[in-house]
Amino acid sequence: MAFTDAQWQSLAIVPHFTAALSMAGDAWILFDILWRRKKTNKLPLTSYHRIIMFMSIWDFIVISFGKFPASWAMPADTPNVYYASGNRQTCTMQGFFIQFSLIVPMYNAITALYYLLVVHYGLTNGDIRHKYEKWMHIFPFAIASSFAIVGLVPSMLLYSTSTMWCWINAEPKGCIQSYEGEGPTTCTRGDNAYIYRLALYYCPIWVCIIFATISMGVIYMGVKATYSRSRIFQRTGSGRPANRRDDQLKQIAKQSFFYIGGFLLVWTFPTLNRVLAFFDIKIYALTLLHSIFSPLQGFVNFIVYMRPRLMQHIEQQQQSKKTSTLRASMTFLTFQTEKKEQGVFKGNDASNENAKADKFVEDTLEDQNSNSEEGDAEDQRLTEDYGA
């Protein structure tokens, strides 16, 4: 079903806003890692921080030159496209960066691999840095840049105007492509575009999605098995009891689920829309969701990145309320005890009993605050080193 003019206009406008959110999220992550952690707190960057940092850098770049311009980069004479104000060169540049944006889903898969190594295989940031981290950065860049350069080869010229932005597409619209087997191609650009879309972009993304999903399943089963052994110990006294390390792994695993879940959320609607497009099925609602979520990875990463800190803040507020309630209760009990003792104790005896009651209140609050501070320090270390 053909889209109305209002629908086409909305598809041209929406990506600007979601892309801007993504760029803001990427910028905050970079500020937080490079300024707050490294410069202000003088803390070294771990493998986790470098992976998230480079994913944010690449996402900011490809969104800035790719999906944020949206229809602005299309040639001004493109028919049935709102706000097109570019030329062939801007269209080609946009197509290159959108194709290069493959690097972001690959970094999401690398993030899943990182958490798999930490939670399931028990590696530390130091282990990952010495053995694997170099390849975690080289591999995504090499693949994404190579596939993007393919579209610039003069004999192929894959980048052309598409629905919402310039990317791999056949031109002119409706031309006969070689893979269709209906005779010689009539395309001046982007012959066999559907095949290249699959081979250079969506198949690699689907591989990343499958890997991330499998990693999430392995992590979940591993954590579940650990806690099952702990419950067996509690019932029978055999096996191994739960310890602080198990709780830490559970927190790290939970953070990995949020990163992987955010990745799957972002690519669900674009994947469905592209699959239907291969069968010439166009649904406006699905295309609109594609335009909303496709540029949104940086903003989703920002939410997941800040989640542990937000949860810590909420827990601290709850702990503060509990402490205030306990203090008020102890003060009330002390006051009641003092009133009762006024008729029983005289002079120094009453003073001694009041002093004991005050000492009890102070000791109780001190023990509670000490335990809370130890837990907060441990949670802060997890957040700083593993993002959990």
| Average of per-residue pLDDT across 157-162 | 94
In Å, what is the CA distance from 95 to each residue of 137, 191, 218? 23, 15, 36
Residue 51 pLDDT class (50, 70, 90 cuts): very high
| Average of per-residue pLDDT across 220-248 | 68
- CA–CA gap between residue 78 and residue 172 (Å, rounded): 11
- pTM of the predicted model as reported, rounded to 2 decimal places: 0.83
**Most confident option among 13-22, 39-48, 272-281:** 13-22
Count CB-CB contacts under 10 A for residue 163. Answer: 18
Looking at the chain, the whole-number percentage of residues with pLDDT higher than 90 is 61
Q: Which residue is associated with the tokens 């130091």?
A: 126
Would the pLDDT of 11 be above 90?
Answer: yes
Would the pLDDT of 324 be above 60?
Answer: yes
Question: In terms of DSSP H, where are the helices of 101-132?
Answer: 103-115, 125-131
| Average of per-residue pLDDT across 337-357 | 56
Provide the pLDDT for residue 263.
97
| Average of per-residue pLDDT across 194-214 | 96
Provide the pLDDT for residue 243.
59
Would the pLDDT of 286 be above 60?
Answer: yes
Provide the pLDDT for residue 239.
52
**Least confident segment among 45-49, 71-75, 87-91:** 45-49
Q: 35 or 227: which carries more pLDDT confidence?
A: 35
Of the candidates 286, 67, 92, the one whose C-alpha atom is nearest the C-alpha of residue 164 is 67
- Spatial contact of 163 and 287, defined as CB atoms under 8 Å apart: yes
Would the pLDDT of 363 be above 90?
Answer: no
Per residue in 160-190, pLDDT tens? 999 899 999 999 988 999 998 888 999 999 9
Would the pLDDT of 251 be above 60?
Answer: yes
